[in-house]
Every structure is written in C-alpha cells, then in structure tokens.
Amino acid sequence: MIIAPSLLAANFQSLEQALKQIEDARWLHLDVMDGHFVPNLSFGPMVIEAIRPLSEHVFDTHLMVANPGQLIDAYIEAGSDRITFHVEVDEDKHALIDYLKTRNTPVGLSIKPHTSVEQLLPYVDRLDHVLVMSVEPGFGGQSFIDHSLEKIRQLKTLRTTHDANFLISVDGGINASNVDAVVDAGADVCVVGSSIFKAADPAAALKAFYDR
Ligand code: DX5
Ligand code: ZN
C-alpha cells in the first residue's frame, strides 16, 4: 500500500523541511486548486518546479481545476509524474487521456463524493489509477465520508470484471483509525494530509501508517 502525503497540509513556511519529513514516502500528492472547480486556490506549476529538485518522490498531481486541458503541459513540465483530473469536468476526457498517454504520463480520473463509480465506466480500461475523493474536494482536514468505502469496493470489483489494472487511490480524511478499513476495502494508495503534516512528528506519523 502506498501512502501519498498531501503537500496541501504541509507547513508552507518551509516546504524543504516538509519534504524531508516525508522522505520515506514514495509518492507526494499535490493538490492543485483553481478557485473555480473547487472554492479554494492552492499552488501553481511554479511551486512544483521549485520543489522538484528537492524531492525523489513520485509527484502525483491532482488537478481540481475546471480546465485541465489547458494546464496539463505546465504541470508536466514543472515535474509532475502522474496527472489526475476530474470526471466531472466539461472537457473531452478521452482526448485528455489520449494526450497524457502521448506524453507517457500515467493518468487518473477522480470522482467527487456524490459522483457514482458508473461515471468512470467509459474510461476504466484506459486509466493508470482512479482517485476516490473521500471528502468534498477543496480543503484538507475534513472528516472521511464513510460511503466512500462502498465506492472503493465497487471499483475493486469493476477492475476485475473489466480486466482493468488501475490503482485505486483514496483522498481525504484518512487517519490511523480508518486507514485499515480503507485498505481492506481495496485501496492501493492512501492520500494523507493532516494526519501526517499536522502531527507533532510528521515522519513518525508517516512511519506509523506503514507499521500498522
Ligand atoms: C481535498 C484534498 C485533501 C487532501 C488530504 O481537496 O485533496 O483531501 O489531499 O487532506 P486530509 O488528509 O487533511 O484530508
Ligand atoms: Zn488530492
């Protein structure tokens, strides 16, 4: 199981220190917000470009933006290794997936809490990962939405019935008390923000997720 700490919850007064705290993680989750698709604004490609040389992590960039097609190149050039955009956006999602494949960039689609897993059916055999939002996208520190567990189980079944091989990633409200249920339901990747970066010792908090 991969833990992907979410930079959104880090201390922005020192991102270099934040990256050191989670150097034992394989992935770094980068929550990009545009103030339109979600009611919050986070960081642009420049921040990713600035931290790229400081980190060996797989940069797992989550585009919570209304117009991913216009932004994908900038986030790849800045250093993103994987790109996720939302199934809810009003863009040609097959064309975006095609494009990301031409750029050899693993691609994922994310579904918001009220979006059904069925919305992903036209795309599942083309995706490298699926991101289940277990909170309403836009802010860290929210509580895990329990019906997300059923969506994870549905995706696990769907992956088998469609002979697909996407990773199941889950994002939002994951902590020491619910991570076992999330993994047991079928998550391959857990995005964790507050439970790691808001802990007194983020490195120890990360280790506790792996040692559970
Ligand atoms: C919401 C963000 C958060 C974040 C994880 O849009 O995507 O889910 O990554 O933050 P925590 O772990 O604090 O919920
Ligand atoms: Zn995210």
Per-residue pLDDT tens over the stretch 136-151: 999 999 999 999 999 9
Nearest-CA residue for atom 9 of ligand 1:
6
Ligand 1 within 6 A of CB of 190: no
Q: CA-CA distance, 163 to 22, in Å (whole number)?
A: 34
Quick one: pLDDT at residue 179?
A: 98
Quick one: pLDDT at residue 150?
A: 98
Mean pLDDT over residues 55-61, rounded? 98
In the CATH scheme, what is the code of domain 2-210? Answer: 3.20.20.70
The alpha carbon of 211 and the centre of ligand 2 are apart by a number of angstroms equal to 23
Local confidence band at 50 (pLDDT 50, 70, 90 cut-offs): very high
Q: In which order are the strands placed within the sheet that holds 2-5?
A: 2-5, 189-192, 167-171, 129-133, 107-111, 82-86, 58-64, 27-33
The alpha carbon of 156 and the centre of ligand 1 are apart by a number of angstroms equal to 22
Quick one: pLDDT at residue 208?
A: 98
